[in-house]
Amino acid sequence: MSSFAIAGVLVLKFALPLLILRYPFQASLANYVLDTVDGDVLMPLGLAAATYQTWDKAADWVTYVAMFFAGRRWEIRRTITVLFAFRSVGQLLYFATGNDLFFFFFPNFLEPLFLIYSFLRFRDERTAHERYRRHWLLVWSIVVVYKMWNEWNIHVAEIDLSEFFFG
């Protein structure tokens, strides 16, 4: 039963990002939630931590690819392209070395920016870019502060945030 559940979660981790192309905000939010809790589900089911990390990082990159393609239709496509390339360098270095410290030096600014911008588009596609430009400092403050805090906790301090917050 547990191997079936593990396979189901892993399939979901690779399939859900594909919905980002059609439903950018809803699917990226659902993917963020899944990515937040998947380790707390998969490892107790018996998936080894090292195996989980490999599958998780591969699924993350599928998400970034989906965000890149969805974002190519938006006004911030150049920013999305740069952030996709930047994080992809970190992904490549991680897979080449196994050292997850590269995620701290190549933080994932793409995902929170994509979530915020797709939310603005979800609310009102016609005014999304104008609202983004008007509030760019707030948007980027949230993106940078949140991701640097998150990447530091996970990849430098090696704090399990689920355990820290929920015991």
pLDDT 10s digits, 44-99: 899 999 999 999 999 999 999 999 999 999 999 999 999 999 999 999 999 999 99
Spatial separation of the C-alpha atoms in residues 14 and 31, rounded to whole Å = 10
Predicted local distance difference test score (pLDDT) of residue 167 = 63
Domain with 91 in it? 2-166
pLDDT band, very low/low/confident/very high, at 160 (cuts 50, 70, 90): confident
Question: Domain count of the chain?
Answer: 1
Kindly list the distances between the CA atom of residue 107 and the CA atoms of 43, 75, 145, 146, in Å, as whole numbers in the listed order: 24, 22, 11, 10
Condensed to tens digits (0 to 9), the pLDDT of residues 88-129 reads: 999 999 999 999 999 999 999 999 999 999 999 999 999 999
For the chain, give the secondary structure using H, E and C.
Answer: CHHHHHHHHHHHHHHHHHHHHCCHHHHHHHHHHHHHHHHHHHCCCCCCHHHHHHHHHHHHHHHHHHHHHHHCCCCCHHHHHHHHHHHHHHHHHHHHHCCCCHHHHCCCCHHHHHHHHHHHHHHCCCCHHHHHHHCHHHHHHHHHHHHHHHHHHHHHCCCCHHHHHHC
pLDDT band, very low/low/confident/very high, at 1 (cuts 50, 70, 90): low
**Does residue 165 register a pLDDT over 70?**
no
Question: What is the pTM assigned to this prediction?
Answer: 0.92
Closest to 14 in 3D by CA, of 48, 73, 62, 83: 62
